[in-house]
Amino acid sequence: MMAWAGHELPIYPSYYPHEIDITTVPPEQALSQIERGQIQAYIGTAPLLDTALPASVSAVESLGSFVIVEVNPDSPHVRNGQGTCVVAAAVIRNLVEHGRGFIFSPYPVTPFHGDYLYHADLAVAAKQRWLGREDKAPAGIEVKPVGAIAASLVPAGRQTQARHWDAEVTTVEAGAMVAQTMTAVNGWLGPPWLRKGWFHADLLLADAVTDPESKARVGSDFKQLTTGDYEDAVERINLERDLVGILSNSCHKTVAGYTVRHHYFSNDYSAGIENIAYDSIAGFAAPMFLRTAKLKDFPWNGWLRLGTDKPPAAAWNPMTGFTDAFGHLMWFALSDPALLPSPNDSGWTINRIADVAAKSAR
């Protein structure tokens, strides 16, 4: 087998700016700095605008945060567990009616996940199941929002910070969850199921499974999926569906839906970026973005200026460091992994290599 390396597209699918400048930019200043040309893309989360974007700024979307509703078992509205689903349904209906930016999707695998098609029928069934509930909502349900996003979704009249609450609404940022569970060692990013919906479902909901039989099935399915103990793709997909089905079958803790995250970049004719590739889960905080962000002023090379919302905090070494947002971005730029996460899939794509037909020596 022989492979010739050079700057040909099949070998180097990247533009490689010769300088990447990463600076900390407060979220409220991100759009103005992009518009003035001080940065060309923002990796953090900038506030949503009520007006149209400036002409020189464009945006792409990725999965934002999972919105989770958890019912308090000590709530007076819950009697022997029979009222748990009634309280959860009332809170979810309230989010649907009043939550700005909330996407109702009571199934933990979303359309942003590459393996969503394996779960699409179950996701539709879950939505119909919650919408079809006709339970009369009990009066005076008090909801405790945790975090700024949750507080923006729950109507002020329903919110409480008292010790006694009926339901709690929390959010888990999808990109941060992926980053926290990612291992980057010697050019390898993992685990292999890092961006799969069933893995995210387990991270979000496994702690809420208390029934011994269900807990055993969850553990068995997870072990088979992570050890490759299945015959073929059909058995693997059925294991994934079974796992997520068990995890999402409880009213005690439910993924009620999700939010969408917007990522902003400069499309300025001269100093902007073209050929944008971004990750459906992590947005611009992904290796594929740095390898495909082509500057309009240069066919290759150039100066790429990026902004992040948090300053560096972790150690700078490839074994135990680079664990914060800045470190991940820096490591994506410096490392050269053989495989990269596919931007819109839950699988992987090759990096810097191509299939080359073997030729006999002359």
pLDDT tens digits in sequence order for the chain, 362 residues long? 455 555 444 444 455 677 889 999 999 999 999 999 999 999 988 877 777 888 999 999 999 999 999 999 888 888 766 789 899 999 999 999 888 889 999 999 999 999 999 999 999 999 999 988 777 777 888 999 999 999 999 988 888 888 889 999 999 999 989 988 888 776 677 898 999 999 999 999 999 998 999 999 999 999 999 999 999 999 999 999 999 999 999 899 999 999 999 999 999 988 898 878 899 999 999 888 888 888 888 776 778 899 998 888 888 776 777 788 888 888 888 777 778 888 888 888 887 655 556 566 55
- How high is the pLDDT of residue 9? 45
Q: Which residues contact 11 (CB under 8 A, 6 or more apart)?
A: 3, 4, 5, 352, 353, 354
Which segments of the chain does DSSP mark as H helices, in order? 30-35, 84-98, 120-131, 148-153, 174-181, 197-205, 212-227, 233-247, 287-292, 325-334
- Which of 204, 206, 208 has its CA nearest to residue 221? 206
Spatial contact of 256 and 67, defined as CB atoms under 8 Å apart: yes
- How high is the pLDDT of residue 62? 94
Spatial contact of 316 and 322, defined as CB atoms under 8 Å apart: yes
- Which of 131, 111, 129 has its CA nearest to residue 120? 111
Tell me, rounded to whole angstroms, the distance of Cα 223 from its chain centroid.
Answer: 23
- CA angle in degrees (0–180, nearest 5) for 24-264-257: 105
Spatial contact of 237 and 118, defined as CB atoms under 8 Å apart: yes
The one-letter amino acid code at 15 reads: Y
186's torsion region: left (phi>0), alpha (psi -120 to 50) or beta? left
Q: Which residues contact 207 (CB under 8 A, 6 or more apart)?
A: 253
- How high is the pLDDT of residue 187? 66
Name the maximum alpha-carbon separation found in the chain: 85
Rounded CA-CA distance 292/278 in Å is 9
